[in-house]
Amino acid sequence: MSSQPLKIEREGGVARVVMSRAEVHNAFDESLIAALTHGFQELDADEGVRAIVLAGEGKSFSAGADLNWMQRQSAAPLEANLEDARKLAALFHAIAHSSKPTIARVHGAALGGGMGLASACDICVASTAAVFATSEVKFGIIPSAISPYVIRAIGQRQATRYFQTAERISAQRAWELGLVHELCEADALDAAVARVVDALLAGGPKAQAAAKALIRAVADRPITGEVVEDTARRIATLRATPEAREGLAAFLEKRPAAWVKG
């Protein structure tokens, strides 16, 4: 078994977070959950990081929960079980609320929590050979910790089906459902991820963080006067920042903005 469940590599403002429990298809246990949570929190605080790519070693992106870990939790007292579940929920929250753009590079299986990881990331790029599922009901449990992110990705109606049937979802079907943004052959996966990263690096980092916060603020809300006022204040505040002034100046002067590396 790998002694290090996670590898983090940095290059040119891009952090690559790689799950390295290939021998168990990058299934979750306490060590991987803790390493992923800490890793994303650390990268979020690093001003040198512009984008985060989440990937998995071996044949799978992530097969979800390690069944040995699940067995241990099923035998644990309620309070210990609840504390462990909170740690899992905190992992998905840390990914979804990262101020940095996050990309899931999905190949092979993305099952249960693996589908949760793909859903929690901002962008999902998948191989045509990838397969997804919310398989929890097959084990007598529910996809609870991942539910906010999967429902956000595929909608309530589709989640109602897949949460109950635990059917395997092909990469093509995941693309049709809206979970997958970019679909490509396996040998083109890294190139597809690189194209998305390049597009992200061209944007202002503070603007991208503000864009994510904007979506959380307005999604699924009626367009009330309060929402209209909030959106006006957000753009007015952002327009006065040094980043916005630099972005506009760069455009008018037909040069790359300061945050774009040559």
pLDDT for 63-98, tens place per residue? Answer: 988 888 877 877 878 888 888 889 999 999 999 999
pTM equals: 0.94
Burial letters 173-186, b for 16+ CB under 10 A, else e? bbbebebbbbbbee
> Which pLDDT tens digit goes with each residue over 194-235?
999 999 999 999 999 999 999 999 999 999 999 999 999 999
For residues 195 and 172, give the distance between their C-alpha atoms in angstroms, rounded to a whole number: 20
Q: CB–CB of 200/101 below 8 Å?
A: yes
> Which pLDDT tens digit goes with each residue over 129-170?
999 999 999 999 999 999 999 999 999 999 999 999 999 999
> So what's the pLDDT on residue 1?
44
CA angle 7, 44, 59 (to 5 degrees): 30
Q: CB–CB of 201/51 below 8 Å?
A: yes
Task: Give the mean model confidence (pLDDT) for residues 38-56.
Answer: 97
> Which pLDDT tens digit goes with each residue over 9-32?
999 899 999 999 999 999 999 999
For residues 253 and 233, give the distance between their C-alpha atoms in angstroms, rounded to a whole number: 28
- Known catalytic residues? 136
* DSSP-derived secondary structure letter, 127: E
